[in-house]
Structure 1
Amino acid sequence: MILKKATILIVDDDPDVLTAVKLLLKTQVAEVITEKNPENINWLLQRNEVDLVLLDMNFNSAINTGNEGLYWLRKVKDWKPNVCIIMITAYGDIDLAVRSLKEGADDFVVKPWHNEKLIATIKELLDKKEGGTKTTKSPAKSTAGDTSILGESDVMQDIFHKVNKIAPTDANILLLGENGTGKDLMAKAIHERSLRADKPFVKVDVGALTDTLFESELFGHKKGAFTDAREDRAGRFEDAQGGTLFLDEIGNISLQQQAKLLTILQNRQVTRLGTNKAVDVDIRLICATNVPMSELANESRFRKDLIYRINTVEINMPPLRRRSEDIVILAKHFAKQYASKYLKPAMDFDNPALMKLKSYNYPGNVRELQYTIERAVIMADDSTLRPDDLIFSILETATDNNINDDNIQLSTLEKNAILKVIEKHNGNITRAAKELGLTRTALYRRLSKYDI
């Protein structure tokens, strides 16, 4: 939507804020509506075609929930699900504002805001609502080690937008997703965009630690605390002092380990093995797991109080099959990267090779694509990669494409089901894909697979 045609509703019980925002926006948009009492929001939304709401996080209103902003956010989402919402918050309430993103807010601004930034944020959200400026966004990229986070798909753009909002805060973050989706790279990217970027980034694969190693590795130990403890050693919490501690595979630790970790996070102090002296720690915590949240919510496996402690904000890293628009971008990036690493000429793909890349479902996700391209670059005889150069991992295809009589029968059933649904919708691929629970891209892959 063009900014000049927009109607903006501002809801804040501070008249100075209402006046300041109205003066700022009145020459930028078609109409600015101001309101001090949030209980009038529904009436205003029914009476006006509002495109965007600027909503304060705190009100002295008849509704007293302790976080009125979240209450009214939910109400606005119920009344007008498609309206854009920007929360207005004070610096001290940033954690609450981050929570508002999980509740459905599109963005938040911190008082005092920069006028140019506020206008740019409003314009970006209105354009996104109409789908008009996706091309104006530069794909987010975060280099970490020998790979990068790249993506132009909608799902990745939403994640990048979320990361840009939460990275400067100290909110604890839980990264969810299958193996190979880039959770470790995302953790590094968040650290690099945080206010702690010049401090340590410390990663620990906690899922692989025994109980004894867990305490020693995370909390440290004194000389003689156990066999082979030949010197004092700081734990990873102390190593990450002032920076970010990334606990990978958090979903695989035992209940006993969870209890010890919870105590440290609550007290923000660690005590090395073999001593009673507590050391204060100042870290930003990021955790990751490939265990689905539905399984983590089972208290026989994972403590709910620890989930709440580590999960101020959660980010779901999508499997590559859900961001198929990014396959070619990533493949070309890896081809360039490995051509340079192995002193090869600049590499490109012919069209059949690109079709092969796009038609595969990548059970190993981005990691599998990366290794596939690395192998292809090493083995290629010239600068053009062809279908025969692209050999997907037998570790994945052995389980994903194991063809037997049962699989053949299932393939026949799937093909017949697709044919019936397409016929039902008179060839409308969009409607057929929706009924089948597939994306259009996934359905096209199946059409190609079955020569339909």
Structure 2
Amino acid sequence: MPPSAAHILVLDDDADVAYAATLLLRRHVARVDSLAHPAELPRYLQGCAPDVVLLDFNFAPGQTDGAAGLAALRQLQALPQPPAVIALTAYADVALAVEAMKAGACDFLTKPWDNARLVAAVDQACARRAGAVSAAGDAGDDRALMGDAPSMRHLRSLIAHVAPTEANILVLGENGVGKELVARALHCQSRRAARPFLALDMGALPEATLESELFGHRRGAFTDARHDRAGRFQAASGGTLFLDEIGNLPLPAQAKLLTALERREVTPLGADRAQAIDVRIVSATNLAEDALHDPAVFRPDLLFRLNTIVIKVPPLRERQGDIPQLLAHYLAHYQHHYGRTPRPLDAAALDLLQHHDWPGNVRALRHACERAVILSQGERYMVDDFGVAARVVPVDAAPCATPASLKLDTLERDAVAAALDKVQGNISRAARLLGVSRAALYRKLDKHGL
């Protein structure tokens, strides 16, 4: 689900806060609603199913314990298809942040927020709900990493073997293979399963706010630091911290992360003493392993701290025998999700889909299945329903007959392909090079079959 199609609910008793969030987000998403109190939630949910909820945690004057927000969060988590929840509070102490993560929040922000940070948080929440919840059903069960290929059986066996340990794990794989699902499976099968699992896209963190995001800050540490704020290391206390896109972290920021891992402690900005941390680190990157061993790209001492165990997730093209099972699973999932009548898959379509190279891996296959369920009007799913056979005709193949829109599409496709090639497939760097968001770049990759 791209953010531009998302339905957002703002649940906050401060009318000014709700209006500010609505004014900002309605430029980025399809729909924004607001409620003033959790008591309004049951009736609202009877007719609406938001994708992301911005949830305030205190709804009475002088209240700072977050009890009302935690109750609303648990209510949302009990839904058959729970929305992604971003905790929104002016009192972001460590205990409340940890409790919110334990109860299922995917992120937390302090009021007043930074607009770019709020949009980025919503963007990531949309992606995570689509990938880790809607698509997989339950990210912790075996369906999330299904497949009978030897590589997948080995992957599941390796996860089961190393999950109960405290070893830091580095997950390698192309975009769309399910690296976060591997991280969640490691957490769910670990001794930390009852504690928070917190995922953080390192490529989306501005370097200027890296320390505050990771380690937290004290009130007055810098301009606009109006309250103490827990960092991600503190919020994930006792659980697992998943550092996605670790290969995008600039070298100076890598040094700060290394110090925290070496000392097993962090010092919030503005604090005069360090705090011990108790988290297991699972990190992931789409960079090739040899690129990580380049000191100009990644610090060897940090890599040594992160890659006690390396898990490689195979691309879909290397396990084509699993494709029929994946197609059946996702078609059934989206038929149920959209209330569509089940229908068979055409044999010719199955053959083409099974031999398609799937450059976007399982994520691309999932999106193709959703498209087919929405668009198919025949008695069976045909290849055209999946949108994977179309190819952009080169401009110089028929210069006189090529429409202007096709020329623009071709230029866009070439620009995206060139950017990806220049940064060796690194999505965050390609997005920065092109001047678009990661979500926008993913949509362009789907559009052009890259």
Give the TM-score taking structure 2 as reference length. 0.55
> In the alignment, is the contact (CA less than 8 A) between 1:191 and 1:244 conserved in 2?
yes
Match of 2:139 in 1: 144
Cα deviation for residue 370 of structure 1 reads: 0.5
Match of 1:337 in 2: 333
Cα deviation for residue 381 of structure 1 reads: 1.7
Match of 1:218 in 2: 214
> In the alignment, is the contact (CA less than 8 A) between 1:335 and 1:347 conserved in 2?
no
Do structure 1's residue 325 and structure 2's residue 321 form an aligned pair? yes
Q: Superposition pairs for residues 88-237 of structure 1, below 5 Å?
A: 143-144=138-139, 148-237=144-233
> In the alignment, is the contact (CA less than 8 A) between 1:173 and 1:311 conserved in 2?
yes
Do structure 1's residue 299 and structure 2's residue 278 form an aligned pair? no
Cα deviation for residue 277 of structure 1 reads: 1.7
Paired with 1:383 and 1:254, the residues of 2 have a C-alpha distance of 52
Cα deviation for residue 346 of structure 1 reads: 2.3
Distance 1:313 1:376, change over 3 A: same
- Letter of the aligned partner of 1:143 in structure 2? D
Cα deviation for residue 331 of structure 1 reads: 0.9
Which of 281, 289, 295 pairs up with 1:285? 281
Which of 376, 392, 409 pairs up with 1:380? 376
- Letter of the aligned partner of 2:369 in structure 1? I
Cα deviation for residue 404 of structure 1 reads: 7.2
Match of 2:344 in 1: 348
- Report SS of the residue matched to 1:143: coil
Q: Superposition pairs for residues 256-275 of structure 1, below 5 Å?
A: 256-275=252-271
> In the alignment, is the contact (CA less than 8 A) between 1:324 and 1:358 conserved in 2?
yes
- RMSD of aligned Cα (Å): 2.1
- Letter of the aligned partner of 1:202 in structure 2? L
Paired with 2:204 and 2:263, the residues of 1 have a C-alpha distance of 25
Paired with 2:214 and 2:270, the residues of 1 have a C-alpha distance of 14
Cα deviation for residue 382 of structure 1 reads: 4.6
> In the alignment, is the contact (CA less than 8 A) between 1:368 and 1:392 conserved in 2?
no
1:388-441, CA deviations, whole angstroms, 9 ceiling, x for partnerless residues? 2121297xx55xx86978xxxxxxxxxxxxxxxxxxxxxxxxxxxxxxxxxxxx
- Report SS of the residue matched to 2:298: coil
Larger relative contact order (Cα-Cα within 8 Å, sequence gap ≥ 6): 2
> In the alignment, is the contact (CA less than 8 A) between 2:140 and 2:188 conserved in 1?
no
- Report SS of the residue matched to 1:186: helix
Which ranges in structure 2 are unaligned for 5 or more consecutive residues? 1-135, 398-450
- Report SS of the residue matched to 2:358: coil
- Letter of the aligned partner of 2:219 in structure 1? K
Paired with 1:403 and 1:365, the residues of 2 have a C-alpha distance of 27
Cα deviation for residue 383 of structure 1 reads: 5.5
Paired with 1:339 and 1:246, the residues of 2 have a C-alpha distance of 31
- Report SS of the residue matched to 2:287: coil
Give the TM-score taking structure 1 as reference length. 0.55
Which ranges in structure 1 are unaligned for 5 or more consecutive residues? 1-140, 406-452
- Letter of the aligned partner of 1:312 in structure 2? T
Which of 365, 368, 387 pairs up with 1:369? 365
Distance 1:268 1:186, change over 3 A: same
> In the alignment, is the contact (CA less than 8 A) between 1:142 and 1:189 conserved in 2?
no
Cα deviation for residue 347 of structure 1 reads: 3.6
Match of 1:391 in 2: 387
Which of 247, 250, 264 pairs up with 2:246? 250
> In the alignment, is the contact (CA less than 8 A) between 2:140 and 2:185 conserved in 1?
no
- Letter of the aligned partner of 2:376 in structure 1? A
Which of 308, 313, 316 pairs up with 2:309? 313
Cα deviation for residue 212 of structure 1 reads: 2.2
> In the alignment, is the contact (CA less than 8 A) between 1:345 and 1:383 conserved in 2?
no
Paired with 1:283 and 1:262, the residues of 2 have a C-alpha distance of 14
Paired with 2:259 and 2:221, the residues of 1 have a C-alpha distance of 21
Paired with 1:201 and 1:348, the residues of 2 have a C-alpha distance of 38
Cα deviation for residue 353 of structure 1 reads: 1.5
Greater Rg over alpha carbons, structure: 1
Deviates more, 1:203-212 or 1:333-342: 203-212
Cα deviation for residue 224 of structure 1 reads: 1.6
Q: Size of the alignment, in residue pairs?
A: 261
Distance 1:238 1:335, change over 3 A: same
Cα deviation for residue 260 of structure 1 reads: 0.4
Cα deviation for residue 142 of structure 1 reads: 8.5
